[in-house]
Structure 1
């Protein structure tokens, strides 16, 4: 199925992206971009809540377009928001980032997010494809993220990637 450029741009669908096609009772056709991480919605929410409690920070799980699960302080500002172009690039480059707001590597998670001071980002890989990210965020300037946060984010991303492969 060929989708016109204007519709792809509006729905943030790239050529070759998988789509779900539905029809409603009135016969209208509904196009929805397929999100593999979205398939794990309930698991992603529960996992992000557990991580946020354990790590004492805000946790986001994203697909390549939006935040699919957020827990901890500031979750309402992140849940279901589209991710920033910078985060999209980090995910596609399969980069791991641990950075403070004063670092050149710091990446805003959404285009309007400004309140977090520290972040740890780890891409979720499934069968070699980057399908999203696990992101830890911190508002406290005194608490610096380091190897612990990076390793826990890596572990979470690995777990979610393996869940997608099954």
Structure 2
């Protein structure tokens, strides 16, 4: 366990403040859910909770199905990292931190739709991603009005175009995941 040298007292309501430096480093935002664990040595462990991360195996199967239907790369993320990949190398994406551009798109709850390689506005998916995506759809997953992740369909092949069918597949996926997590 990493020592920070920061000490905080518990207040009369049992609350403790997580220092700003730690929240910034771990990308913990106001309102983010945290899981609380204890271990055998009496330590309390706080872990950022990812509701969509709990659906990892299901997300993988969904990504595989979307890839089989569309023929494109499909990536599913939570707010911080990639949780499922199909149609691309898992080592290039799985469990990697999201790019700042993707985090911004999710934070602003916007949709990126790059229809073909003539449109140069694709965004990197993970930190350090230098891949040129020739077509890309990025859509945030909303649950109870809060962005909890994203579904991405993309291609690196030349002469690939994405249209309404791909857009609707991605929208169906984001809607499905959002509704599953609201139950």
Give the TM-score normalised by structure 2. Answer: 0.83
Deviation >4 Å, runs of 4+? none
Q: 2:145 aligns with which of 111, 128, 152?
A: 128
Q: Is the 8 A contact 1:122 1:150 kept in 2?
A: no
Q: How does 1:56-135 map to 2 (within 5 A)?
A: 56-99=71-114, 100=116, 103=119, 105-115=121-131, 116-135=133-152
Greater shift in the superposed pair: 120-129 or 109-118: 109-118
Give distance in 1, aligned partners of 2:73 and 2:145. Answer: 27
Q: Is the 8 A contact 2:122 2:134 kept in 1?
A: no
What residue is the counterpart of 1:148 in the other structure? 165
Q: Is the 8 A contact 1:58 1:74 kept in 2?
A: no
* Unmatched segments (≥5 aa) in structure 1: none
Q: How does 1:7-86 map to 2 (within 5 A)?
A: 7-86=22-101
Shift of 1:58: 1.2
- CA RMSD in angstroms, aligned pairs only: 1.6
* Unmatched segments (≥5 aa) in structure 2: 1-15
